[in-house]
Amino acid sequence: MSGVLDGTVALVTGASSGIGAETARRLAREGAAVALVARRRERLDAVAAEIVEAGGRAVVVEGDVSERSSAEAAVKQAVESLGRLDILVNNAGVMLLGPAQQASLDDWERMLSINVNGVLAVTHAALPHLVRAAEDSARGVADVVTISSTAGRVARPGSSVYNLTKFGVNAFSEALRQELVPQRVRVGVIEPGTVDTELVTHNSAAVREATERQLATIEALQPSDIADAVAYMVTRPRRVAVNELLVRAAEQTW
Ligand code: NDP
């Protein structure tokens, strides 16, 4: 496969399903060699096999981004396998919903550890490689894209800690963006609306049913719609930095 991203290397966290898997396929189609990071090895192997079958290059890196050592090892392994790192897509995340009074503190901590600490650990480990890539690549830039959410813009009942994590990564990304302008590392967030993925399946039956009822009222986004947004951001010429994309399902009012 060949395209605008020829010669680049992308690392996608949460590449075993949903938005991350589709983003990995899409970036490979644009010419990037892709490192696929997540915990479910078999799912990663299947995505990597599809990419290779289609003529692309992919490596599987089993890792848990919520564990600092595992996140750091994943970045190291990706760079050792593919030689460099031009694009980081922080996509791994969980959404555990429900009223605060009934919530489990374990669930809240799990969201913080994956959606926030995971982003921090992977980004921190990736930055030196991204700065180097911006200096020595033909593109003359490197990219950090974090998958936030509409929940990073609008807080709602039942979503308090998920909101906290997504507002948090938006703030982190904006500060990082300003810091890294001189080094030509572009930093952006994508804020998807409702996407048809496995995200809601980790919730209680009551939350799953409520979400399914809401989903039945609209045509949800597909993971490829968000992969398109990622690809758009990272394939812009050097003079363009797309820092934020809010992508809702067309019928979504919330
Ligand atoms: P999925 O549940 O399909 O994907 C989540 C991915 O995150 C999986 O690949 C999972 O892999 C990975 N993941 C979870 N925990 C960890 C961990 N500790 N270490 C490494 N990887 C992990 O859901 P989506 O594709 O929908 O979610 C992707 C992102 O999009 C999330 O950040 C989510 O908040 C965001 N988002 C989703 C929306 C939606 O409506 N679906 C809307 C807005 C934002 P594994 O289990 O193999 O580790």
Which of 34, 30, 35, 36 lies closest to 1 in space, CA to CA? 30
Mean pLDDT of the chain: 97
Active-site positions?
A: 162
CA of residue 213 to ligand 1 center, whole Å: 21
CA of residue 174 to ligand 1 center, whole Å: 22
What burial class does residue 72 get, using C-beta atoms within 10 Å of its C-beta: 0-12 exposed, 13-18 middle, 19+ buried? middle
CA of residue 238 to ligand 1 center, whole Å: 29
CA of residue 91 to ligand 1 center, whole Å: 6
CA of residue 93 to ligand 1 center, whole Å: 4
Please state the atom number of ligand 1 nearest to the C-alpha of residue 40. Answer: 47
Domain boundaries, the chain: 9-247
The structure's pTM equals: 0.98
Q: How confident is the model at residue 221 (pLDDT cuts 50, 70, 90)?
A: very high
What are the structure tokens assigned to 118, written together?
């995971």
Counting ligand 1 atoms within 8 A of each CB, the residue from 39, 148, 194 with the most, and so the one to mutate, is: 39
The fold for domain 9-247 equals Rossmann fold (3.40.50)
What is the phi/psi pair of residue 15, to 5°? -90, 10
Residue having the nearest C-alpha atom to atom 9 of ligand 1 = 14
- pLDDT, one tens digit per residue, over 152-177 is 999 999 999 999 999 999 999 999 99
Residue having the nearest C-alpha atom to atom 33 of ligand 1 = 93
Counting ligand 1 atoms within 8 A of each CB, the residue from 12, 17, 225 with the most, and so the one to mutate, is: 17
**Which residues contact ligand 1 via a Cβ below 6 A?**
13-14, 16-20, 38-40, 43, 64-66, 91-95, 114, 147, 149, 192, 194-195, 197-199
The pLDDT of 189-198, averaged and rounded, is 97
Q: How confident is the model at residue 214 (pLDDT cuts 50, 70, 90)?
A: confident
**pLDDT of 2:** 74
What burial class does residue 217 get, using C-beta atoms within 10 Å of its C-beta: 0-12 exposed, 13-18 middle, 19+ buried? exposed
CA 210 to the chain's CA centroid: 25
The pLDDT of 107-112, averaged and rounded, is 98
- pLDDT, one tens digit per residue, over 38-95 is 999 999 999 999 999 999 999 999 999 999 999 999 999 999 999 999 999 999 999 9
**pLDDT of 223:** 98
DSSP, residue by residue, the chain? --STTTT-EEEEETTTSHHHHHHHHHHHHTT-EEEEEES-HHHHHHHHHHHHHTT-EEEEEE--TTSHHHHHHHHHHHHHHHS---EEEE-------S-GGG--HHHHHHHIIIIIIIHHHHHHHHHHHHHHHHHHSSS--EEEEEE--GGGT---TT-HHHHHHHHHHHHHHHHHHHHHGGGTEEEEEEEE--B-SSGGGGS-HHHHHHHHHHHTTS-PBPHHHHHHHHHHHHTS-TT----EEEE--TT---
Handedness of CA 20, 243, 200, 126 (dihedral sign): positive
pLDDT at 1 over 80: no
Where b means 16+ CB within 10 Å and e means fewer, 129-167 reads bbbbbbeebebebbbbbbbbbbbbeeeeeebbbbbbbbb
